Structure 1
Amino acid sequence: MDRHSIYWEDVEPGQPLAAFTYELSLLRLVAFVRASGLYDYVHFDGEYARRAGARDAFISTPHVAGLFGRLLTDWSGPGGEIRSLSFSMRTQSCTNDMLEVTGRVGRCYRAEDGAYLVDLVDLNIGHALAAQAPTATATMALPSRSGEKARPLNATGSVQTDSSATDLPDFARPFLGKSRQAGGLPTRPLTKDEIHLWCEALEDWNPLYWDEGYAASSRHGSITAPPTSMFFGAGSAATLGVGYMKPGGHIPDAVRQGLTGIPLLQSLRQSLVQAGTLVSPPGCPEIAVVQAASRFFIPLMPGDTARIELRMKHCGQKKKTKLGEGYFITTERLLYNQRAELVRTQEFTVFHYQV
């Protein structure tokens, strides 16, 4: 990656971002699962994914976000700050699809806080079977030729409670406006090696993420994790069948019952669903993320720990789609570090369904 950062004054609306291709090989799917610790079987096990109604093992939501993040910072250089990223999953990208990641500059403007902002539009990941698999928009803060550095988003007033949703299914109504801490995150501090594994899986070589010498002289004073990154590695409660034989650890009921193969995986996967949402619709064991919108405030750094607070914002009535019948649930996740600083907010709309 070029270590030169683009200046706001040099950006023109309509300017294309430098596109790149990314082969979604099984190796890269597995590498990303290892880097994130998100051992969800649909993202590396083709047989399980097909049982869940997919064409093959398919890319995960954090993987998509990571590719869009790479597109943005490859273009801006390490001086740019991603303030927000929103994307829709139109269809799946599966094993061995050759992805093309593209986008262009939209509006250039000054924010109320004085930041030099650029909207990035028509962000897209396409492949031979889908010209638009996920599509996205984003906003970045850039440095100015005036000497002003890019400003991160201010977290003040960014957390809002919405308890006005109506027309909820009966099972979801008790959860509206409620919040709880999510499970699944490791209690051990984030390491440089975990960040580097993430970079390797995405081929994202922003020097802020891996070059300690460069990062030490940056505004952060240390390497940082990419803003879109999510880590569920060693020490995470969301084992999904990995590490359950650790001495003193909890052995899942499905293992005690002697289940094997797909039935075992289907049972274990419920721990992931339960960790990431406030409510699990009855009879809907599978999940697929439909939309995601994130706002970024400060980065995670080596040594940080994190916690997530969950809030359900809406649950629709039962619907039938090509995947199956189920419910669209929108949940907000607020990620904090160990100093209770807001790192990012994420709003996910997830389809909970039965094939």
Structure 2
Amino acid sequence: MCWEDVEEGQPLPSFDYELSLLRLVAFVRATGLYDYVHFDGDYARAAGARDAFISTPHVAGLFGRLLTDWSGPSGEIRSLTFSMRTQSCTNDMLAVSGRVGRRYRGPDGAYLVDLVDLNIGHALAAHAATATATMALPSRSGDKALPLTPVREDDVRPADVPDFARPYLGKSRAGGAYPAQPLTKEEIHLWCEALEDWNPLYWDEAYAASSPHGGIIAPPTSMFFGTGSSAGLGIGCMKPGETVPDAVRKGMTGIGLLQSLRQAWAEGGTLVIPPGCDEIAVVQAVCRFFIPMRPGDTGHTQLRMKNCSQRKKTKLGEGYFITTERLLYNQRNEPVRSQEFTVFHYHV
């Protein structure tokens, strides 16, 4: 797809995606995101959900597939903003769709297209997740855009923040390593397999080598927790040298064990856990993409807290909405992407 061929208002080619338990498990396998709510129906129901439900990177991956299925592999996703209005659960048949919004030139010379009305719906929710995105497309002129550089805005929102969160507002700390071990082609292939996203840049070595990237890249929306990431959630924690979680050492079992492990794991993604709120659900994500991850890359993150609401009541329970920015860098300290997550911390 070239920029000159785009027509404002044209629909993107939609697709259906059955969110089977097999696909939920395949996605856990691909990402290393062993969060119980995304594959364990009993735990998800104990957390107030209808059943095991789709994860945030899974939603992002489906929107990413929609965009590059339309544009072809030369299209570059620059930003993606999405909201999860309700859960998509085991065996829901998802319909993924969208349309072209505006076509224009960016200040860096890029040939840009805004995609609007991006939507994931199913029989119980016509708009389970919605999104907008911006893509850069190749031009018949051959003009190249300037490299993207991240700009960190001073956009901390301090109004009406509860007392427990105020000391953390605007503060930063190192986050986790995603992935801690070098990324492999096989991990990228597993991502493609779980999503049925067969963009040749992600798996076809010959095609990718002939592209401007010079080799295989990871999808921009992809998130890889990597080997050993499950230890904090109780799988593999008996490996010599691993830190055994307190709940495991105490001999806890069942839902109580999982709840304790999950709360400790959730602490890695925020600067503060609200008191008495032992469950989490991501409700919105704002992502900007700079350079792709490649096989052999490792990543490290920096977290910054931007906002925290007062206590709110929702259908999941009562709690607080916390917005945290996560910047991902590769091993050369090059910015890969920024992600701003709004997470609901709640008690069932």
User: Does structure 1 retain, via aligned residues, the 8 Å contact 2:305–2:324?
Assistant: yes
Give the percent of matched residue pairs that are identical in Structure 1 and Structure 2: 77
Rounded to whole Å, the distance in 2 between the matches of 1:82 and 1:153 is: 13
Rounded to whole Å, the distance in 1 between the matches of 2:126 and 2:157 is: 37
Rounded to whole Å, the distance in 2 between the matches of 1:195 and 1:271 is: 28
Aligned with residue 142 of structure 1, among 137, 144, 152? 137
Shift of 1:159: 1.7
1:55 aligns with 2:74: no
Q: Secondary structure at the match of 1:166?
A: coil
Structure 2 unaligned regions, length at least 5? none
Shift of 1:152: 7.5
Aligned with residue 253 of structure 2, among 256, 260, 278? 260
Query: What does 1:76-115 correspond to in 2, within 5 Å?
Result: 76-115=71-110
Query: What does 1:230-241 correspond to in 2, within 5 Å?
Result: 230-236=223-229, 239-241=232-234
Shift of 1:217: 1.0
Amino acid corresponding to residue 120 of structure 1 in structure 2: L
Amino acid corresponding to residue 52 of structure 2 in structure 1: A
User: Does structure 1 retain, via aligned residues, the 8 Å contact 2:231–2:242?
Assistant: no
Amino acid corresponding to residue 211 of structure 2 in structure 1: S
Rounded to whole Å, the distance in 1 between the matches of 2:194 and 2:149 is: 30
Q: 1:38 to 1:173 in 2, by over 3 A?
A: same
Count of aligned residue pairs for this structure pair: 348
1:15 corresponds to: 10
Q: 1:153 to 1:122 in 2, by over 3 A?
A: farther
Structure 1 unaligned regions, length at least 5? 1-5
1:326 corresponds to: 319
RMSD of aligned Cα (Å): 1.2
Shift of 1:167: 1.3
1:249 corresponds to: 242
Rounded to whole Å, the distance in 1 between the matches of 2:147 and 2:117 is: 22
Amino acid corresponding to residue 95 of structure 1 in structure 2: T
Aligned with residue 21 of structure 2, among 18, 26, 29? 26
User: Does structure 1 retain, via aligned residues, the 8 Å contact 2:33–2:229?
Assistant: no
1:154 aligns with 2:135: no
Shift of 1:113: 1.1
Deviation per residue, 1:240-295 (Å, 9 max, x gap)? 11110111111111111111111110011023211111110010010001110100
Rounded to whole Å, the distance in 1 between the matches of 2:215 and 2:136 is: 20
Spell out structure 1 runs of 4+ moving beyond 4 A. Answer: none
Deviation per residue, 1:152-202 (Å, 9 max, x gap)? 86115x122334512111110110111011125342111111100001000
Rounded to whole Å, the distance in 1 between the matches of 2:143 and 2:196 is: 29
User: Does structure 2 retain, via aligned residues, the 8 Å contact 1:186–1:237?
Assistant: no
The two structures have a TM-score, normalised by structure 1, of: 0.96
Rounded to whole Å, the distance in 2 between the matches of 1:218 and 1:235 is: 33
Rounded to whole Å, the distance in 1 between the matches of 2:232 and 2:28 is: 12
User: Does structure 2 retain, via aligned residues, the 8 Å contact 1:100–1:125?
Assistant: yes
The two structures have a TM-score, normalised by structure 2, of: 0.98
Rounded to whole Å, the distance in 1 between the matches of 2:227 and 2:157 is: 39
Rounded to whole Å, the distance in 2 between the matches of 1:81 and 1:306 is: 21
Amino acid corresponding to residue 55 of structure 2 in structure 1: S
